[in-house]
Amino acid sequence: MPSRWGPRWFKSVIILLDELSVSIDPQSPSGGGDLVLISHAHSDHVAGFRSKGVKVCSEATAELYRAQFKRSAEARLQPLPSWTRFDDLEFRLEESGHVLGSSQFLLKHPDLGQLTYTGDLNVEGSILHRPPPVLECDELVVDATFGHPHLKFPPRERLYDELAKWVVRASREGRTPVLYAHPLGKAQEVIKVLNEYLGLEPLVHPKVARVCEVYVKHGVKLGFRTMEPLRGGLDGGCEAFIAPLSPRPLKAPFKEVKKAVVTGWSSVFSYAAFDKSFPLSSHSSFPELLSYVVSSRAKRVYTVGYYAEEMASWLRKRLGLEAETLASR
């Protein structure tokens, strides 16, 4: 069956309609169309804020963009969930379970049927986010970041328990437990785990604190203490410190530390510089993604992300679906 929507990849997911061009999550300002849909506020999804088209995102996404990058975010802000219209195109924003304000988009056109773009997707939800709805559609553009058929994350509750116990053990050894996590999404999940499992309010880096403040504004209860910009070391330790994970992680300002990295990528790559790794992800792994694909009842599937080729191949061979890769590593 030929695609009615015909999505393609050019610095973003591009859909060309007779009356307009739609760009979803462009990775460059030049990748924008007449209508630019921005799913969430991670750095690899926000270039659309600098494009010329009409931008649409959730209110939280715009606020998180401003908090992290200190830039204006001119956009049409939509609540989650909500329907809106642009010419003959209707589209719905629904939660994706990934981070605060993250959106799936369900596009509806009288001549084309329905297309879902999941954006970065966490099907099972988390201690912070409820499981997102499955959006039934004719064609599906699905997150395949961890879509390799051999990838399956451990149960989330088990990881929460292991993380909390690791923090307690590090403290009993007289070391400050330092948890490196993405400042948006993962850091807040770790904070909530420490709040709920240990009654502990960790010290957080200013980059993490700025994001936490947006979460709190949107009704998420988080207990944390803010560290002022770091200057020199601290003589003592603390019960736990949340630091931003980056290609060159900052050195924790404590004399005796134990370091852990919290990322789903630790299920794929080695993080030998850390004492411990927790494969806690804001994305779903293959079994959950497969469940979403089947439940969506899509007749045609497009995969986007690191394991897009492996996932599309499996869907073709095992389920007989029309599946192809839009963008991969």
Specify if 1 maps to a domain. Answer: no
Specify if 321 maps to a domain. Answer: yes
- State residue 325's pLDDT score: 97
Specify if 52 maps to a domain. Answer: yes
- State residue 1's pLDDT score: 67
For 278-316, the pLDDT digits (tens) are 999 999 999 999 999 999 999 999 999 999 999 999 999
Which CATH number is 147's domain given?
3.60.15.10
Paired residues of 56 in beta bridges? 37, 76
Tell me what percent of the residues of the chain surpass a pLDDT of 70.
94
Query: Does 139 lie in the same domain as 18?
Result: yes
In Å, how far are 38, 146, 226 from 196, measured between CA atoms? Answer: 32, 28, 19
Side chain identity at 176, as an amino acid letter? T
The predicted model gives 142-168 an average pLDDT of 98
Query: Does 269 lie in the same domain as 211?
Result: yes
Query: Does 130 lie in the same domain as 85?
Result: yes
Query: Does 181 lie in the same domain as 307?
Result: no
Query: Does 251 lie in the same domain as 208?
Result: yes
Query: Does 139 lie in the same domain as 117?
Result: yes
For 122-143, the pLDDT digits (tens) are 999 999 999 999 999 999 999 9
- State residue 230's pLDDT score: 44
Specify if 196 maps to a domain. Answer: yes
Per DSSP, which regions of the chain are E strands?
A: 8-9, 13-16, 21-24, 35-37, 54-58, 76-78, 82-86, 89-95, 103-109, 113-117, 139-143, 176-181, 203-204, 225-226, 241-244, 257-262, 276-278, 300-304, 322-327
pLDDT beyond 50 at 233: no
The CA distance from 91 to 141, in Å, is: 14
Specify if 27 maps to a domain. Answer: yes
The CA distance from 26 to 5, in Å, is: 18
Query: Does 288 lie in the same domain as 244?
Result: no
Specify if 54 maps to a domain. Answer: yes
Specify if 205 maps to a domain. Answer: yes
Domain carrying residue 144: 8-151+283-327
Query: Does 307 lie in the same domain as 177?
Result: no
- State residue 246's pLDDT score: 82
Minimum mean pLDDT range among 34-38, 111-115, 245-249, 286-290: 245-249
Number of domains in the chain: 2
Rounded to 5 degrees, what are φ and ψ at 49?
Answer: -60, -20
- State residue 238's pLDDT score: 67
Of the candidates 129, 70, 69, 66, which has an alpha carbon nearest to the alpha carbon of residue 98?
A: 129
Query: Does 116 lie in the same domain as 172?
Result: no
Check if the beta carbon of residue 6 is closer than 8 Å to that of residue 324: no
Query: Does 170 lie in the same domain as 142?
Result: no
Query: Does 181 lie in the same domain as 34?
Result: no
For 13-48, the pLDDT digits (tens) are 999 999 899 999 999 988 788 999 999 999 999 999
Q: What is the mean pLDDT of the chain?
A: 93
Specify if 3 maps to a domain. Answer: no
- State residue 232's pLDDT score: 40
Q: How confident is the model at residue 75 (pLDDT cuts 50, 70, 90)?
A: very high
Which CATH number is 228's domain given?
3.40.50
The predicted model gives 151-162 an average pLDDT of 98
Q: How confident is the model at residue 109 (pLDDT cuts 50, 70, 90)?
A: very high
- State residue 161's pLDDT score: 98
For 206-221, the pLDDT digits (tens) are 999 999 999 999 999 9
Query: Does 316 lie in the same domain as 290?
Result: yes
